[in-house]
Structure formats: structure tokens, C-alpha cells
């Protein structure tokens, strides 16, 4: 059995019900906001909103951030099946999830990510889905970094040729020639600093601008027919 494709609520280890409270806030946001770009996933997505680059580059694109720290593929799958995709019609969904699926093999994790993509497509047939490949982690080469790399390779194979779905690498310059990651880019060797986000995600900003422009042009063409 592959638990990565089975929707699941995050375990409330600390006992403050924080995860569910944040999910409920996200549902409330869907009733009040009309995002062009929906970001969903784990702490890589969640922390982006706390960085200046969010206000500089992504907030102006009418973005809504549904990142939750610690999320696994099964957690995101549960959230999107329980309200996170309701009431909104984003033109683009940006997804990053899978690095927290500890103990799961790359094949299972990649299937979990594909399951998320499949459900987003089911709910929003015309939405463009951008899957951010899993970032490297750890100062030095390690098994989890190798696992993430294997997940990314499988994702490229499984999603290739799908209409309005694209995988994107956002690890440019993070790993040095000697295989190490600088604390300037990843202070804890997992989460990006502001300079790390800027270096890694600026190309994603360019892509989002392109997709939104194309979406608007397609809409204008349809209206003129």
C-alpha cells in the first residue's frame, strides 16, 4: 500500500490543533479572495510568504499562499479534497511537496505528487499546474538529497507530455561544485534564506508572468471569436 496517495490529516503532535486551524483559515480565504496564482505545499511554499521576495515579485501577481510546514503529499491531498480548492478559479497552481515524506521510497512519493496534480486537474481542468521539483537538502550529500533527486527524475517521466502541466527546477546555484550547500542560501540546510529564494525563485516569477500573459491573450481571443 502506498500511503503517499492516501489523503490524511496531519498528526497534531504538539496538541495545539495548529494545522487544522491554518487549513480552516485557508478555506475562509477562498471565500474572500480571487487569486490568479495559488501556491500550495509544504514549508518551502509557506516560508516564501515571509520573505521580502514574496511582496516584491509574487504578491503583485495576485497570489494566495496555502503552504503548511511539515506537509506531506497525503496532507496536501487531504487539504485540496476538503476545501482548499473550493470557491476559487486560479489560472496557475504552484506546488512543492514531498520532501517531508520520510520513510517513503521515491516511487511512492512521486506517485503522491502525481495524485495531487491529478486532483487539481479534475477540479480545475483549465488551470496551469507548475510542479516545483524538490529542493536539495543537507549541507553535504546525503540519502535524503539523493531521494529527492530520484523523486524529481520520476516526476519528469510521469508528467511529461501532460497538457498545462510543467515541472520546474528551482535549485540553480544552491549546490556548489564540491557538493555542499552554503548557509547563505539555506541557513538550516533545508529552508531558503531571502537571497536563496531570490536566486532560486526569480526564474519561476518570469514563468508565471508568461503563463498569466498567455492566459489573458487566450481569453481575449475567445471573446473576439
The sheet carrying 92-96 orders its strands as 63-67, 37-41, 92-96, 128-132, 165-168
Whole-number pLDDT of residue 214: 86
- The DSSP code for 170 is -
Q: Assess contact for 137 and 144: CB atoms under 8 A.
A: yes
Following DSSP, what letter does each residue of 86-147 receive, concatenated?
Answer: TT---SEEEEE--TT-TT--HHHHHHHHHHHHHHHHHH-TT-EEEEEPPPP-SSS--HHHHH
Q: Go through the domains of the chain in sequence order and give each one's CATH number.
A: 3-8+17-224 (3.40.50.1110)
CA atoms within 13 A on the CB side of 171: 20
Give the closest residue to 128 by CA, choosing from 36, 193, 18, 52.
36
* Global pTM exceeds 0.85: yes
Which residues, at least 6 apart from 85, have a Cβ–Cβ distance to it below 8 Å? 30, 120, 123, 124
Whole-number pLDDT of residue 13: 85
Q: Assess contact for 86 and 30: CB atoms under 8 A.
A: yes
Angle at 149 between CA 142 and CA 43, to 5 degrees: 85
Spell out, as residue ranges, where the chain has pLDDT lower than 70: 217, 219-225
Following DSSP, what letter does each residue of 9-76 receive, concatenated?
Answer: PPP-SSSS-HHHHHHHHHHHHHHH---SEEEEESHHHHHHTTSHHIIIIIGGGTEEEEE-TT--HHHH
Which residues are the active-site residues?
43, 188, 191
Q: What distance in Å separates the CA atoms of residue 168 and residue 147, rounded to the nearest whole number?
A: 17
Amino acid at each position: 500500500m502506498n500511503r503517499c496517495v492516501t489523503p490524511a490529516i496531519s498528526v497534531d503532535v504538539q496538541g495545539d490543533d495548529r494545522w487544522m486551524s491554518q487549513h480552516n483559515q485557508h478555506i475562509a480565504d477562498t471565500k474572500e479572495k480571487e487569486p490568479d496564482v495559488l501556491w500550495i505545499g509544504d514549508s518551502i511554499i509557506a516560508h516564501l510568504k515571509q520573505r521580502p521576495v514574496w511582496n516584491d515579485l509574487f504578491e503583485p501577481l495576485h497570489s494566495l499562499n496555502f503552504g503548511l510546514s511539515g506537509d506531506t503529499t497525503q496532507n496536501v491531498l487531504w487539504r485540496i479534497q476538503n476545501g482548499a480548492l473550493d470557491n476559487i478559479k486560479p489560472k496557475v497552481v504552484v506546488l512543492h511537496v514531498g520532501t517531508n515524506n520520510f520513510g517513503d521510497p521515491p516511487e511512492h512519493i512521486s506517485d503522491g505528487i502525481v495524485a495531487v496534480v491529478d486532483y487539481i486537474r479534475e477540479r480545475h481542468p483549465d488551470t496551469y499546474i507548475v510542479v516545483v521539483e524538490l529542493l536539495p537538502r543537507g549541507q553535504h550529500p546525503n540519502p535524503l538529497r539523493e531521494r529527492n533527486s530520484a523523486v524529481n527524475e520520476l516526476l519528469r517521466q510521469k508528467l511529461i507530455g501532460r497538457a498545462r502541466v510543467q515541472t520546474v527546477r528551482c535549485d540553480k546555484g544552491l549546490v556548489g561544485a564540491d557538493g555542499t550547500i552554503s548557509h547563505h542560501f539555506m541557513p538550516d540546510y533545508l529552508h531558503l534564506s531571502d537571497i536563496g529564494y531570490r536566486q532560486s525563485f526569480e526564474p519561476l516569477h518570469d514563468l508565471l508572468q508568461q503563463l498569466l500573459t498567455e492566459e489573458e491573450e487566450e481569453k481575449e481571443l475567445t471573446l473576439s471569436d
